[in-house]
Amino acid sequence: MLIRLSILSVWHLIDPLYYWFTRLQYIEASNKKKAVFRVRLTKYKGRDIILSDGTSIAKNDVLVKVHLHNVRLLSELMKTENSLTKGKIIIKQVLESMPLLADYITSHPKEQNIKGVIGITMINKGVKRLGFETFEPANSLYKTVKWLTQLPILFLSSSNSSLTNLSKQRPIYLLMSKEQLIDRYSPEKQVR
pLDDT of 172 above 90: no
What's residue 181's pLDDT? 96
Question: What is the per-residue DSSP string for the chain?
Answer: -HHHHHHHHHHHHHHHHHHHHTT-EEEE-TT-PEEEEEEEEEE--S--EE-TTS-EE-TT-EEEEEEE-HHHHHHHHTT---HHHHHHHHHHHHHHHHHHHHHHHHTSTTGGGEEEEEEEES--TTTTTTT-EEE--S-HHHHHHHHHHHHHHHHHH-S---HHHHHH---EEEEEEHHHHHHHH-HHHHH-
Per-residue pLDDT, averaged over 116-135, amounts to 86
pLDDT confidence band for 163 (50 / 70 / 90): low
Residues 135 and 120: their CA atoms lie apart, in Å, by 9
pLDDT of 29 above 80: no
Give the residue with greater pLDDT, 110 vs 168.
110
Average model confidence (pLDDT) across the chain: 80
Give me the residue spans of the domains in the chain: 2-191
Per-residue pLDDT, averaged over 85-106, amounts to 86
Give the residue with greater pLDDT, 121 vs 155.
121
- Residue 60 — φ and ψ, nearest 5°? 75, 5
Residues 35 and 25: their CA atoms lie apart, in Å, by 10
Per-residue pLDDT, averaged over 40-48, amounts to 92
